[in-house]
Chain A
């Protein structure tokens, strides 16, 4: 999408660009001229900042209940986005909820990138036996639908944010591993690796100088696209009561508890869903933009 919008003007830009620009420099250069990605990058930044600075931004205590102020419409007595079923300020809860949701979206992806990425590179570069041992183990996890696996793992370990993150990490690791393994196996057979071997370089040196740089690109791109899935899955787990426990503010959990009040004040009840939607779409489009910016014709 972002690709199609910027494609016609790219050749001219490329020529105008001075040649001596590092790889990441050229990625940054292309990103800047991609309005969609820039916009959604700003949205992501805003979401992250809002979550981080929630204690400063929140107009009310997100846990202060009020019997008389339940499910009030937007703007009621200074509650910009109204109140929830227990009379708590929704805007404050959304801000605080972002903390948990983002954390549960990002941390498992980070863990999976490190664990799955390393396993994938080892599997891709190692011999047939190592590869089989790693990849078949991953396939066992892969065999389950990701949502089902996440639900099963966090169900077995019990709820809570930490267990939810562990569950999501285990869901993402096999996919990450596969991406890294494929990228490694592709690069491994290219002539420049053979040329490096012919130079007399050892395996570790080749891995460090020639494999890693070529594998990190696809791995990073995939990781960025997983963040939005992570946010969705984390919200799903909370919605099902397998994530964080009430009264912690979390978008999924808020959606779940407000669901019962949908006939009373639908606008308010939909807000946590809107937050999830905006966050996951923004992360997704940002990752899409990064992907096309990094997709240099090699």
Chain B
């Protein structure tokens, strides 16, 4: 197993996703009906950063994560890992990608084999990549230590003998066992108690420092994303609506959806209760998303132009790194509030 090397240099983004698309056929639905789970998503992840992805349930966050690892084959789109196109002749194979990108799942229980002691679950990855049994179990011991579990005490245990937080630590250990460069954390702390969640988040931060990791952190919990992310990507109905540095997104959100999402966070101040939910109703069906802007059916600023033209991601004002997909950013769009906002 060859050690993953930084091939492209620090300036080369670790992962570039270009126009990823995945439409699922609807069983028993109208012929040709598809769920547009991920509908043209593009972004880059730089080396050593944490990109947070937020969005409501069903917006395609998890599908996106699986597309990145080719656990689900994308319908179209391109992945470039450290300068190498994935799954193409001149690039790297999907297996080579999986060697460098690992994933931690939300359900800590079902992501461990119930009939395997956890040290075997961890040793499985290195073993698959050609290490001997002895080497693999040594690696398993090492990573257990790294995630703060005593190998002698926890290694021989079965998943049902561990708490949720311990299980998730094991899952993180499993992901780290093959020394990936990037870890996708798909709602990895969402199912944990708040106190345990904080411990695991701190562990993730420490691991990132120690092993030069890059994280893709998927969550619906905005405060967690704010805590851990460097940049935040907001998804709505399979598409990116806003992307920017974490402090920008949280202090000066541009897209009405991001604004509403942030406003829907419960306040810690009892005098400042949310009386009216800023977002009402469910997101529209991804089988037949609204024309034009996908968010217009729930947007308080929606106008005719929003139904007619699909807004594109673009820079809102002076900050290059902060982009959003809304007509209100573009004075040429014909939206009545476009000028006002700028």
Contacts and interface: CB of A to CB of B under 8 A. Distances in A.
A191 B125 contact: no
The residue among A198, A201, A217, A297 with the most chain B CB atoms within 10 A of its own CB is A198
A162 to B, nearest CB: 37
A196 B124 contact: yes
Interface stretch (A34-42, A93-101, A208-216): A208-216
Interface in A191-207: 191-192, 194-201, 205
Contacts of A190: 110-111
A295 B48 CA distance: 45
B178 interface: yes
Contact of A195 (B95, B99, B156, B174): B174
Interface in B71-116: 71, 95, 98-99, 102-103, 105, 107, 110-116
Contacts of B128: 196, 199-201, 205
Contacts of A297: 160
Given A214-B114, A217-B115, A298-B114, A191 B107 contact: yes
Contact of B124 (A201, A214, A298): A201
A19 interface: yes
A263 interface: no
B160 A192 contact: no
Contacts of A196: 124, 128
Contact of B113 (A22, A198, A214): A214
A23 B161 CA distance: 12
A191 B129 contact: no
Contacts of B178: 199-200
B331 to A, nearest CB: 45
A20 interface: yes
B160 A194 contact: no
A196 B127 CA distance: 11
B157 A192 contact: no
Interface in B106-162: 107, 110-117, 121, 124-125, 128-129, 156-161
A67 interface: no
Interface string A262-298: 0000000000000000000000000000000000111
A205 B160 CA distance: 24
Given A213-B115, A214-B115, A298-B160, A199 B110 contact: no
Contact of A194 (B99, B105, B116, B158): B105
Interface residues of A, number: 24
Contacts of A210: 113, 116
Given A192-B113, A297-B160, A199 B107 contact: no
A127 to B, nearest CB: 14
Contacts of A217: 115
B111 A195 contact: yes
A217 B115 CA distance: 10
Interface residues of B, number: 32
Nearest to A193: B113
A200 B98 contact: yes
Contacts of B157: 19-20
Contacts of B171: 195
A195 B105 contact: yes
Interface in B185-216: none
B105 to A, nearest CB: 4
B195 to A, nearest CB: 24
B54 interface: no
B14 interface: no
B69 interface: yes
B238 to A, nearest CB: 21
The residue among B107, B128, B161 with the most chain A CB atoms within 10 A of its own CB is B128
A213 B124 contact: no
A20 B110 contact: no
A19 B98 contact: no
B99 A192 contact: no
Given A23-B158, A195-B105, A200 B99 contact: yes
Contact of A298 (B69, B107, B159, B174): B159
Interface of A: 19-20, 22-23, 190-192, 194-201, 205, 209-210, 213-214, 217, 296-298
Interface of B: 66, 69, 71, 95, 98-99, 102-103, 105, 107, 110-117, 121, 124-125, 128-129, 156-161, 171, 174, 178
Query: Shortest 10 CB-CB distances between A and B: which pairs?
Result: A191-B111, A298-B114, A200-B98, A199-B125, A213-B115, A191-B105, A201-B128, A190-B110, A191-B110, A192-B113
16 contacts: A20-B157, A22-B117, A190-B110, A191-B105, A192-B110, A192-B111, A192-B121, A194-B111, A195-B111, A198-B98, A199-B125, A199-B128, A210-B116, A213-B116, A298-B114, A298-B115
